[in-house]
């Protein structure tokens, strides 16, 4: 393993042979191998191809094999081994207090939630509901540079990680943590934009997940038998909490059909996600009010 190129080839081969699952922030074995090699050498992700010909540092060899052991034998997600994860160009602290940040809602946020966010001005208030380590709300604070953002979760451990991420990468003073069960403590019409990635894995799906998911908090993944109970509760309460021109962006992953079966009259707009992922809907406050007025709540 004389060069970075040689280290990369070896890591690709080891990850492939171990048949690791790459759904935790990396789209392919190659992407994950690059992150693993750079992580072993403690180098940032912005590198040129010239690095491939550089000598792989002697001091990084032991760390590389430790990372490979954790990843290939124990199947720990790489972000937990490295203690950090990248999303939308930001680097977050990451450990088993919360899910590895990877929500496709990040793709919607970097586009300013256009065209679903219609007002010319940025949302004044944003809630990252079921925030885990807080990545989505913190990205929102970077995109909407005047918004006040609440990171809300029911789990104190997740919130302690979110708090660290505020210290690490949130713009000063505009991002705050609250412990809450869904939207319960929020005042009527107080929120312009709700970002919600609640637990939505159904009981059947839970049994079929690759081993990597065992390291993530159980309560961050499983909802109920069908996977949509929390999404249904929050849709009902979002009608109360959203301001007149408000917007809900909701992720339910593979549970789209179950949610549409449960609430057939909600006019979900399922967003096309060019960088991958599925099951993210936009619903405006007006659409929720119309649904509520039709007595379908």
Ligand X SMILES: C[S@@+](CC[C@H](N)C(=O)[O-])C[C@H]1O[C@@H](n2cnc3c(N)ncnc32)[C@H](O)[C@@H]1O
Which residues contribute to the site for ligand X (CB under 6 A)? 98-99, 101, 103, 130-132, 135-136, 153-155, 158, 181-182, 197-199, 219-220, 230
Pick 132 or 279: Cβ nearer ligand X? 132
Tokens 């002697």 label which residue?
58
Pick 48 or 167: Cβ nearer ligand X? 167
Question: Minimum CB separation from ligand X for residue 17, in Å?
Answer: 29
Pick 33 or 230: Cβ nearer ligand X? 230
Pick 131 or 191: Cβ nearer ligand X? 131
Question: Minimum CB separation from ligand X for residue 104, in Å?
Answer: 9
Question: Minimum CB separation from ligand X for residue 153, in Å?
Answer: 5
Nearest residue to 77 (alpha-carbon basis) of 36, 121, 137, 131: 36
Task: Give, in order, the Cα–Cα distances in Å from 50 to each of 35, 47, 55, 203.
Answer: 16, 8, 11, 47
The beta strand positions in 115-273, using DSSP E, are 125-129, 148-153, 175-179, 191-196, 242-251, 269-270
* End-to-end Cα, the chain, rounded Å: 61
Contact assessment for residue 218 and residue 100, using Cβ atoms and an 8 Å cutoff: no
The first and second tokens of residue 109, run together, are 């946020």
Question: Minimum CB separation from ligand X for residue 199, in Å?
Answer: 5
* Angstrom distance (rounded) from CA 148 to CA 112: 15
Pick 153 or 192: Cβ nearer ligand X? 153
Residues 6+ apart with CB under 8 A from 11: 33, 36, 37, 64, 68
Question: Minimum CB separation from ligand X for residue 146, in Å?
Answer: 22
* Angstrom distance (rounded) from CA 237 to CA 186: 10
DSSP 161: H
Pick 11 or 247: Cβ nearer ligand X? 247
Using CB atoms within 10 A of its CB, is residue 147 exposed (0-12), middle (13-18) or buried (19+)? buried
Question: Minimum CB separation from ligand X for residue 219, in Å?
Answer: 5
Pick 197 or 202: Cβ nearer ligand X? 197
Residue nearest to ligand X (CB): 132
Alpha-carbon Rg of the chain, whole angstroms? 20
Pick 48 or 275: Cβ nearer ligand X? 275
Nearest residue to 195 (alpha-carbon basis) of 154, 228, 152, 145: 152
Question: Minimum CB separation from ligand X for residue 116, in Å?
Answer: 18
Question: Minimum CB separation from ligand X for residue 65, in Å?
Answer: 29
């Amino acid at each position: 393993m004389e060069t970075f190129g040689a280290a990369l080839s070896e890591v690709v081969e080891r990850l492939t042979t171990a048949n690791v699952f790459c759904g935790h922030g990396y789209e392919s074995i190659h992407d994950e191998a690059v992150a693993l090699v750079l992580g072993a050498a403690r180098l940032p992700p912005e590198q040129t191809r010239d690095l491939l010909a550089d000598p792989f540092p002697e001091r990084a060899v032991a760390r590389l094999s430790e990372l490979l052991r954790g990843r290939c034998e124990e199947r720990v997600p790489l972000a937990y081994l490295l203690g950090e994860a990248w999303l939308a160009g930001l680097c977050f602290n990451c450990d088993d207090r919360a899910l590895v940040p990877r929500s496709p809602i990040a793709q919607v946020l970097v586009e300013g939630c256009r065209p679903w966010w219609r007002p010319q001005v940025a949302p004044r208030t944003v809630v990252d509901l079921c925030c885990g380590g807080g990545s989505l709300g913190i990205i929102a604070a970077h995109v909407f540079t005047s918004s006040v953002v609440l990171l809300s979760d029911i789990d104190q451990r997740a919130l302690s990680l979110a708090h660290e991420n505020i210290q690490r990468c949130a713009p000063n003073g505009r991002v705050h943590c609250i412990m809450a069960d869904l939207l319960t403590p929020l005042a009527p019409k107080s929120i312009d934009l709700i970002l919600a990635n609640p637990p939505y894995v159904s009981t059947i799906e839970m049994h079929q997940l690759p081993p990597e998911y065992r390291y993530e908090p159980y309560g961050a993944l499983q909802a109920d038998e069908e996977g949509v109970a929390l999404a249904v509760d929050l849709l009902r309460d979002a009608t109360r909490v959203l301001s007149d021109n408000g917007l809900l962006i909701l992720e339910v992953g593979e549970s789209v059909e179950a949610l549409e079966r449960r609430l057939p009259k909600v006019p979900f707009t399922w967003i096309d996600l060019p960088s991958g992922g599925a099951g993210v809907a936009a619903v405006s406050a007006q659409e929720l009010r119309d649904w509520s007025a039709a007595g379908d709540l």
